[in-house]
Chain A
């Protein structure tokens, strides 16, 4: 066994085959089979009979095996095999066709924008789903629905107002720190409470939240640098991953 990953190599024919849809492949095989169907079915039927004969002769006493084999007829077997083959190919082709042609669900522009807005909030805050739901004034299942771009959610006016208010304070946080708020959101404040309790209050007091952010931003600056921060300052950069988003870089 080699230590390195072996590259797969395909011939042009193999590559072309792999790019075809399964139903196309079945159609191609069928058209080939049709050309030689008679001979193929005959040989398939004979193979089955021979196999069965051999099996029955091994398993059954001689007289019974002889009687069992006599019931087999090549023509009948050919019909059975070709019918089964036709049934299987038809069903399989139809299934692949249905799956391929099934209309892909169109997502609405409003749904995509909603999910984008929520993603920006998550990028700023780094909250858990439960915490973000509390800040938005909704339940966790409701937030999961909001996060599903396939679901067309009609936001209530109160939800729109709340989301706009949360976006406003997200901008205030991003203007003060690049670190997600979640790392310090539940730290006790000098005036009492935490930033999280202020943000998840029924009515968001912008001034109090901004004052809390100022305090927390100072606290964050005073914290010892993490390993990744020190490495970044020393000039090391992250290796770009194929799965990372441009915003991650």
Chain B
């Protein structure tokens, strides 16, 4: 299993990226899967079937889920009755990620799903693996560091903020140090993809009972339109800029010096 560094920085902390479309309930998705699978087979030859529990009103109901995974297990597409998402643990440039997502969007367009897109979201998970003599909080901007009571030592903290921009809302969650044993954000449903180098390093730190942290930056934008690949791609390009701006504001100068 090869590990990769995500992004163009010297020592990038990026561990996982997800682009997601929340769609109106699409009950006949099962009939569309064969066509989508054929169109995406060349990039995502492996298919896994699953179920998700949907709580819509009263009784939770299981809904089918399909996961199309690339041959190197670094990219995946998840298709369900309520969301379509693209997951990556390989990321060289935002333009490269968006071009792969564009191919998935084009395949969905050609399959003529006609899905109504409620929202679009772009989420970046960065892991803080401190080097010697540093703590995870040293990598966060001063405003995110939290308090330090006298004679006290932080064993876990989580700060959540939401920032409204013209192009959407960016939700930021910073946990440094992350509660013991927590590698990824608590409500994060990852696909079974190959772990990147920074995630393997973070796991080693946890095994050695050292602390790590994570920064979870997610931009959400209301769409409210029938699926259109071109328009959605434009939205994601803008959302990428907003998440990047927020992430850079959330990190300290020391972190930028070490990572960039």
Interface residues of A (CB under 8 A from B): 108-110, 112-114, 117, 152, 154-155, 160-161, 163-165, 167-168
Contact = CB atoms under 8 A, between A and B. Distances in A.
Interface string B200-218: 0000000000000000000
Given A108-B229, A154-B42, A168-B8, A113 B93 contact: no
B63 interface: no
Interface of B: 8, 42, 92-93, 95-96, 98-100, 102-103, 105-106, 109, 229-230, 232-233
Contacts of B100: 160
Contacts of A112: 230, 233
Contacts of A114: 99
Contacts of B230: 109, 112
A171 to B, nearest CB: 8
A109 B95 contact: no
18 contacts: A109-B102, A109-B106, A109-B230, A110-B105, A113-B95, A113-B99, A114-B99, A155-B99, A160-B96, A160-B100, A163-B96, A164-B93, A164-B95, A165-B92, A167-B93, A167-B96, A168-B8, A168-B92
Nearest to A116: B95
Contacts of A164: 92-93, 95-96
Given A108-B106, A154-B42, A168-B8, A113 B96 contact: no
A113 B98 contact: yes
Q: Which of B92, B96, B99, B105 has the most CB of A within 10 A?
A: B99
B92 A109 contact: no
Given A109-B233, A167-B93, A117 B106 contact: no
A23 to B, nearest CB: 30
Nearest to A171: B8
Nearest to A107: B230
Nearest to A154: B42
Q: Which of B42, B98, B230 has the most CB of A within 10 A?
A: B230
Contacts of B95: 113, 117, 164, 167
A117 B99 contact: yes
A161 B103 contact: no
- Overall SS of chain A's interface: helix
Nearest to A114: B99
A110 B96 contact: no
A160 B98 CA distance: 12
B93 A109 contact: no
Contacts of B92: 160-161, 164-165, 168
B76 to A, nearest CB: 16
CB-CB nearest 8 A-B residue pairs? A110-B102, A164-B92, A109-B229, A108-B106, A109-B102, A109-B233, A164-B96, A164-B93
Nearest to A163: B96
A129 B146 CA distance: 54
A152 B106 CA distance: 10
Q: Which of A112, A113, A155 has the most CB of B within 10 A?
A: A113
A114 B99 CA distance: 7
A110 B93 contact: no
Contacts of B96: 160, 163-164, 167
A110 B106 contact: yes
A160 B100 CA distance: 10
Given A108-B229, A113-B233, A160 B99 contact: yes
A23 B91 CA distance: 53
Contacts of B8: 168
A165 B102 CA distance: 19
Q: Which of B96, B229, B233 has the most CB of A within 10 A?
A: B96
A165 B95 CA distance: 11
A108 to B, nearest CB: 4
B105 A109 contact: yes
A160 B96 CA distance: 7
Contacts of B102: 108-110, 113
Given A108-B109, A154-B103, A168-B8, 9 more contacts: A108-B102, A109-B102, A112-B233, A117-B95, A160-B100, A163-B96, A167-B93, A167-B96, A168-B93
A237 B229 CA distance: 39
A177 B102 CA distance: 31
A22 to B, nearest CB: 31
